[in-house]
């Protein structure tokens, strides 16, 4: 792993850890975002990020169900290979958006059950609810805009690779 890759992997995994992702899972996902070749075996990943095969297996259990990474097999090869899903960044943002749902549900319930409260007091709850609703809407708009831009942008080919 080059220094620039190592720096990215460590910085990105610290950000993800602050958001609740186990450190090895964060390093694994970060590595798969920048690694070459795109598909990596467990041994490749373990060597690159300095983690045990067991730690990699645990990280895979965190990332695969969220569709942040995907497993592939090669004909004649019994090993699994891992890569980022094409929409892994979208999945990560959508996962964060889903985390807002319990807050929205709680706020909606409070607004309904406290409807007899002073209007000024109730407005504070409505304001927080509205902000969370706007955040969900903005994420939906951003994801749609990203998909539109990505579809309109031809895949770039690195110099000397055509």
pLDDT computed for residue 95 by the predictor: 80
CA neighbor of 42 nearest in space, from 53, 50, 34, 51:
53
Per-residue pLDDT tens digits for 42-84: 999 999 999 999 999 999 998 988 888 999 999 998 899 999 9
pLDDT class of 158 with cuts at 50, 70, 90: low
pLDDT recorded at residue 162: 45
pLDDT at 127: 95
Query: Domain limits of the chain?
Result: 3-84, 100-152
**CA–CA distance, 42 with 45 (Å, rounded to integer):** 5
Neighbours of 38 (CB within 10 A): 12
**pLDDT tens-digit readout, 33-44:** 999 999 999 999
Tokens of 110: 């409070």
Would you say residue 1 has pLDDT above 80?
no
Q: Rounded to an integer, what distance in angstroms lies between the CA atom of residue 150 and that of residue 17?
A: 28
Q: Please, what CATH class does the domain formed by 3-84 belong to?
A: mainly alpha
pTM of the model: 0.73
Exposed, middle or buried by CB within 10 Å (0-12, 13-18, 19+), for 105? Answer: exposed
CA distance 114 to 1: 56
* Two structure tokens written together for 90: 């979208």
Q: Pick left, alpha or beta for residue 67 (phi over 0 → left; psi -120 to 50 → alpha; otherwise beta).
A: left
4/74 Cα distance (integer angstroms): 30
Q: How far apart are CA 105 and CA 109, in angstroms?
A: 6
DSSP state of 100: T
């Amino acid at each position: 792993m080059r220094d620039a890759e190592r720096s990215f992997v460590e910085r990105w995994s610290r950000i993800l850890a602050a958001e609740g992702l186990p450190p090895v899972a964060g390093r694994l996902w970060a590595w798969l975002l920048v690694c070459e070749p795109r598909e990596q075996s467990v041994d490749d990943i373990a060597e690159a990020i300095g983690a045990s095969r067991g730690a990699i297996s645990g990280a895979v259990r965190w990332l695969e169900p969220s569709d942040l990474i995907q497993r592939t097999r090669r004909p004649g090869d019994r090993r699994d290979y891992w890569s980022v899903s094409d929409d892994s960044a979208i999945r990560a943002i959508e996962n964060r958006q889903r985390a807002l749902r319990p807050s929205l549900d709680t706020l909606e319930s409070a607004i309904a059950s406290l409807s007899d409260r002073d209007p000024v007091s109730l407005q504070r709850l409505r304001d927080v609810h509205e902000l969370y609703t706007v955040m969900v809407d903005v994420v939906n708009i951003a994801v749609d805009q990203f998909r539109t831009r990505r579809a309109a942008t031809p895949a770039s080919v690195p110099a000397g690779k055509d």
